[in-house]
Structure 1
Amino acid sequence: MREWTRRSGRPAPNDTTATTRQDGGVSVHIGYAAMLEQFPPSDAVAYAELAERHGFSGVMATDHFQPWLPQQGQSAHVWSVLGAIGARTSGDFGPGVTTPTFRTHPAVVAQASATLASMYPGRHWLGIGSGEALNEHVVGEYWPEAHERIARMFEAVEVIRKLFAASIAGREVRHHGPHFRMETTRLWTMPPVAPKVLVATAGPVTARRAGKIADGLITTGGPYDRLAALIARFAEGARESGRDASTMPRVLQLHVSWAETDAEAMRNALTEWPIGGMRFSRSDIRSPFEFEQLARTVRPEDFQGRMLVSSDPDAHRAHLQRHLDLGFDRIYLHNVGRNQEQFLEVFGREVLPGLRA
């Protein structure tokens, strides 16, 4: 049994230890996914800081109003936590993803994002998705079909980008669309360069549209062939808008289960993240208690091809490398167990240094 130690202290502003390196000294961007459904906000911030000290390059934080499962036990406000993460780390960070269509108007999300980008120049990015009923139904609005949720998401992107552009230019802007209204206004706290707006997608049509209008793409782990298709369709959309997808962020949130033994890794997967074994759409489920009932149907074999469950660092390195080879240039890694300190130490020492572009 290894003895685990936690490094403490705050990184210096110009600390370079948080850059994951590949052969030849060029950066490979493997960040840490801070899961606010699982950990109290102060712990999540501390883990983000520790991740940087072990070689992780940035932080993605989840935006939830409720946890997936009651036993996960947390759901902090993402914008509050991101401000603290920005103060305690030196890499990039952003919400991956937020939904500026139901709980929060796009103008308010734009203000929150612009504030972080002003406080931490060049580090903050904005990830936007179409949402899940688990988090968005709490405000009591009608929960629409997927096509309408996607339409609302892209209109929200339009509102945010219009507001960013007008505010940088020092002028006001308004918006009256199918789903949102914004009266004449501007952001009075705005950085010289707007945060990049990345769109979350799980399907080829949305990926192509994201390539046309967004600054980058975000998706979550899944079968390799599905992910390869998303990357390809995103590139198609970028080409249609006269851009090169290879210069645009292609972001992956990757869930894995690592522990000292395979048995412990599987227990963690089944206990903490049965979501990873659910082979059906989760967008319309409204309650953590409903997810708790569905989680009882998940079996070890359900994770096959969807989430790596292993105690072998070499297997995890190969898994990460394959996703880099697919064309993702940023991966934010979530180890589903509570063993975050052990995970960060082992991956920082045995997994990240062997990765290459």
Structure 2
Amino acid sequence: MPAHIGYAAMLERFPPAEAVELAALAERHGFAGTMASDHFQPWLPAQGESSFVWSVLAAIAARTTGDFGPGVTTPGYRMHPAVVAQASATLAAMHPDRHWLGIGSGEALNEHVVGRYWPEPPERINRMFEAVDLIKRLFAASIAGRDVRFAGQDFKLESARLWTMPEVAPPILVAAGGPVTAKRAGRTVDGLITTGAPGDDRLAVLLTKFAEGAREVGRDASRMPKVLQLHVSWAPTDEEAIANAVAEWPIAGLRIPRGDIRSPFDFEHVARTVRPDDFAGRMLIGADPDVHRAGIQRALDLGFDRVYVHQVGRDQRAFLEVYGREVLPGLHR
């Protein structure tokens, strides 16, 4: 069957109106949906943008017909989980069967700005799953037409319901970078999101652990969404593709943990150490569409049923044209 390949709209790189135009153009070239990044700040000062993802998603949904969702949003710092649930439910009510909610544990770059204590990774992951629990309960109660209360370790909710709610709650997908989180996601949510390149051995482990978690609660992981965000650098020449990766998206080449870095200017400083070799196994780079098609097909064969592609080069329109003509038609699940 045809593969589900979506477009990753990176809101830290393009003004919101242009991001909407690119998402609409991507659909005209054969991309099936849109994933939009949720940032308060860009990774690097040179990227220059960081619009509010919920506003942009509403505009993208109005201009397209495919699925859409935030690459991942992080409830509990900038926004309480109940507010995230309201934003998601509203989009799902406006566009039935199209919207999904991606949730992650967050990075200091975006979440520290409200001045709260920034916890260590295990605590961030526990907070994420507690936020998911709150959102799931709020969705279920609201569909049933009743109020719900919640009192957890990190979050509280007074008696409340969502008064605007779709007939079916949007699926919740959790971002996992490690096997423990992936297995927990398999037990508790509707699907998995991760990022990486097809040659990354870690991806197979995440899928295996996700399936194990699903089996533990009697669910079939083969029927659950498994989403990969894939960074690629396509350009007319290999040299230009490599140069674009280094200049535009050195984040993918960083070999240090990035969750605690708080400023785009700090990222700019550490990104100066990134060299072309650092992208090995982390990004599809090159001018040959066959290389890109083979890499994406490898991810599909591994078990991902949706891939959202982020082109790191600035020329998004040429990329969309080449992918639409020479990459997407040859892909299958």
Name the TM-score, length of structure 2 as normaliser.
0.99
Matches within 5 A, 1:74-153: 74-153=49-128
Identity percentage of aligned residues: 72
Are 2:315 and 1:339 aligned? yes
For 1:56, the equivalent position in structure 2 comes to 31
For 1:352, the equivalent position in structure 2 comes to 328
The equivalent position to 2:208 in structure 1, one of 229, 232, 235, is 232
> CA–CA distance in 2 between the matches of 1:225 and 1:274?
21
Are 2:26 and 1:66 aligned? no
Aligned-pair CA distance for 1:224: 2.6
Residues 103, 174 of structure 2: 8 Å contact kept: yes
> CA–CA distance in 2 between the matches of 1:243 and 1:138?
38
For 1:192, the equivalent position in structure 2 comes to 167
Q: In structure 2, the residue corresponding to 1:90 is in which secondary structure?
A: coil
For 2:196, the equivalent position in structure 1 comes to 221
Q: In structure 2, the residue corresponding to 1:101 is in which secondary structure?
A: coil
For 1:183, the equivalent position in structure 2 comes to 158
> CA–CA distance in 2 between the matches of 1:316 and 1:308?
6
Aligned-pair CA distance for 1:27: 2.8
State the Cα deviation string for residues 262-283 of structure 1 (Å, max 9, x = none): 1111111111100010112110
RMSD, matched Cα: 0.6
The equivalent position to 1:154 in structure 2, one of 129, 136, 143, is 129
State the Cα deviation string for residues 223-262 of structure 1 (Å, max 9, x = none): 5310000000000000001000000000000001000011
Are 2:172 and 1:172 aligned? no
For 1:3, the equivalent position in structure 2 comes to none
Aligned residues: 332
Residues 74, 103 of structure 2: 8 Å contact kept: yes
> CA–CA distance in 2 between the matches of 1:119 and 1:289?
38
The equivalent position to 2:263 in structure 1, one of 287, 303, 311, is 287
State the Cα deviation string for residues 157-196 of structure 1 (Å, max 9, x = none): 0000000000000000010100001100000000000000
The equivalent position to 1:245 in structure 2, one of 195, 198, 221, is 221
Are 2:248 and 1:272 aligned? yes
> CA–CA distance in 2 between the matches of 1:27 and 1:248?
17
Are 2:275 and 1:299 aligned? yes
For 1:20, the equivalent position in structure 2 comes to none
> CA–CA distance in 2 between the matches of 1:308 and 1:89?
27
For structure 1, list consecutive stretches of 5 or more residues without a partner in the other structure.
1-25
For 1:9, the equivalent position in structure 2 comes to none
For 1:22, the equivalent position in structure 2 comes to none
The equivalent position to 1:42 in structure 2, one of 5, 8, 17, is 17
Residues 2, 331 of structure 2: 8 Å contact kept: no
The equivalent position to 1:321 in structure 2, one of 297, 320, 324, is 297
- The one-letter amino acid of 1:134's match is L
> CA–CA distance in 2 between the matches of 1:260 and 1:167?
51
> CA–CA distance in 2 between the matches of 1:210 and 1:105?
20
> CA–CA distance in 1 between the matches of 2:76 and 2:122?
14
> CA–CA distance in 2 between the matches of 1:330 and 1:309?
20
- The one-letter amino acid of 2:89's match is A
